[in-house]
Structure 1
Amino acid sequence: MVSLIVSTFAPFPTLSLSVDADTSLDAVVDLLHHRYPALPGNVVLSTHRGLINLDASVSSLQLDGSPLVSLRLTPRVLGGKGGFGSQLRAAGGRMSSNKTSNNDSCRDLSGRRLSSIKEAKKLVEYLEAEPERVKAKAEAARAKLEALERKLGIEPPKKDGSKEAGSSKSGDPPVLAGKKHRFDDTEYLEQSQDLVDGVKNAVASALLKKKKKAKLTHPTPETPKEAPAAPKVTPVEEKPATTVAIGA
């Protein structure tokens, strides 16, 4: 009899069997499945030296006639064509090459931070491009004005400064872009002036009423009347008494 110590995989424990020396390894696998039905069907036996032939007997695995044989039971897994490790290494290389390093907090030999130097360069580039931005903005505004004038039927002036052929010579202002135009609708002007005057009068009357209401609600304290002046007293001069002699 030969004692077999079979190391399995989780969650199964290590198994121990006693078989005859001439028992084939294929029969050992069947015996393990019979005693432990929970084992998966697709398993393989091996030793520390690698895979073994299942048609061989247990006695071929005995070393120096030892009655103890150690085996390892592992499940079979479906494999591909391989090369997965190389793919992982290639992906890791690409990730490391694309990794960005931020050194803005570092300083140069003069002690200035790299982030400050980058900001200064950006500011210089912005100031250098300022005239172009102003010019582009002015051109966009001019194009917008010309488009609006075309919608209103106003012909823009020519670049050579010449006047239009249809401009009148009777003193009317020429129709030029950006110039004031004469408005001859007198009825509209009169109505507009009447409206402005009416609004001014309404506001003035409302302010006057508000002032009167404020005076009635909060009367001003009256000034105390002056006391009547005391009558003047003229002193009377005393006349000397006259003595009348009465005859006896």
Structure 2
Amino acid sequence: MHHTTLLVDTVAPFSTLALQVPSSTPLSSLGSLVVSGFPALPYHALSLASPCGTNLASEAPVSSLTNGQDILTLRLMPSLLGGKGGFGSQLRAAGGRMSSQKASNNDSCRDLNGRRLSTIKEAKKMATYLEGEPERKKAAAEEKRAKLEALEKQLGVSEAGPSQEGESSARAGQKHRFDDTEYLEQSREINDNVKSAVTAGLLKKRKKAKTSPPAEPTSAVVEKANKKDKEEANSQDPQAEEPTVLEKVTEAVLTSSATPGVAAGLSVVAGVAASA
């Protein structure tokens, strides 16, 4: 009897299973042979697959898959729940939605006349705005008239009929004065308080200036301080010598506004007097 060697690739951690079966063995019985080789293998969650995709649940013999060879390779794979599929089409649809939502800005492009699209859009917006200007003015006038009517109703002014047209025109030409007595009283009181405070401050300053002694000029203060310093120096050194004639003349020449020639002459005279 002719036999065929089966090599079954199992899932990890199981190793490859080698079986030798008669070539007339039906394909539907191969599952029981695999379970007998690996009792711990969960065969109910697995399925056998042939290299050519033949249905192994049929009653065809093993020799129908060998093509005259003695070795047949099978693969044991986990059974996965099938579905509709179409994941690629879903991705393409999502990509199309994303690309459609993406804003495209072509304002920098130009038309056949060389004008930018942004300029054309602005011109269209301006034209639309100018077309709607009369309607906006009309709506503003109506809103203003409605506010005026509401104000007249609040003030109790009735609409003027044909007989009251003259009175209403005469009343419209008159000037009306609205005085807030409370506000005027508060304003007057605040002004009086400010004036009183300023007057009191000025009187206080004048009174203080009268009672305090007059301030001496700066030159007098400096002269008095110099005089006091000289007196203290004389009291500390009573035997201090008086300045000589030469020193007096030299100091007078330096402090005077004499010309250089006159100053030289005075210096010579002072020297002669000192030597004498």
TM bucket (normalised to shorter chain) is 0.5 to 0.7
- CA change 1:49–1:112 in 2 (3 A) is same
2:5 counterpart residue number: 3
Matching residue within 121, 126, 132 for 2:129: 126
Q: Quick check: 2:6–2:21 contact (8 Å CA) kept in 1?
A: no
1:59 counterpart residue number: 63
Q: Structure 1: how far apart are the matches of 2:128 and 2:29?
A: 84
The one-letter code sitting in structure 1 at the alignment partner of 2:17 is: S
1:205 counterpart residue number: 196
Matching residue within 74, 78, 86 for 1:71: 74
**Range moving further from structure 2, 86-95 or 14-23:** 86-95
Cα deviation 1:57-96 (Å, max 9, x = unaligned): 32332211x121122334444445x584797499469738
- CA change 1:150–1:180 in 2 (3 A) is farther
Q: Structure 2: how far apart are the matches of 1:119 and 1:31?
A: 82
Q: Structure 2: how far apart are the matches of 1:44 and 1:102?
A: 56
Q: Quick check: 1:6–1:15 contact (8 Å CA) kept in 2?
A: yes
Over the aligned positions, Cα root-mean-square deviation in angstroms equals: 4.5
1:24 counterpart residue number: 26
- CA change 1:102–1:181 in 2 (3 A) is same
Cα deviation 1:77-119 (Å, max 9, x = unaligned): 4445x58479749946973894564322322234433223212
Residues 153-164 of structure 1 mapped to structure 2, 5 A cutoff? 153-157=156-160, 163=164
The one-letter code sitting in structure 1 at the alignment partner of 2:33 is: L
Return the TM-score normalized by structure 1. Answer: 0.59
Residues 1-248 of structure 1 mapped to structure 2, 5 A cutoff? 1-7=3-9, 15-21=16-22, 22-34=24-36, 35=38, 37-39=40-42, 41-54=44-57, 55-64=59-68, 66-79=69-82, 82=84, 84=86, 88=90, 91=93, 95=97, 98=100, 101-157=104-160, 163=164, 174=171, 180-181=175-176, 194-210=185-201
Offset of 1:27 from its aligned partner?
A: 3.1
The one-letter code sitting in structure 1 at the alignment partner of 2:158 is: E
1:228 counterpart residue number: none
Q: Structure 2: how far apart are the matches of 1:212 and 1:83?
A: 103
- CA change 1:142–1:213 in 2 (3 A) is farther
Q: Quick check: 1:5–1:14 contact (8 Å CA) kept in 2?
A: no
Counterpart secondary structure, 2:44? coil
- CA change 1:38–1:145 in 2 (3 A) is farther
Q: Structure 1: how far apart are the matches of 2:121 and 2:13?
A: 64
Return the TM-score normalized by structure 2. Answer: 0.54
Q: Structure 1: how far apart are the matches of 2:135 and 2:208?
A: 66
- CA change 1:52–1:182 in 2 (3 A) is closer
Structure 1: gaps spanning 5 or more residues:
226-248
Q: Structure 1: how far apart are the matches of 2:30 and 2:147?
A: 94
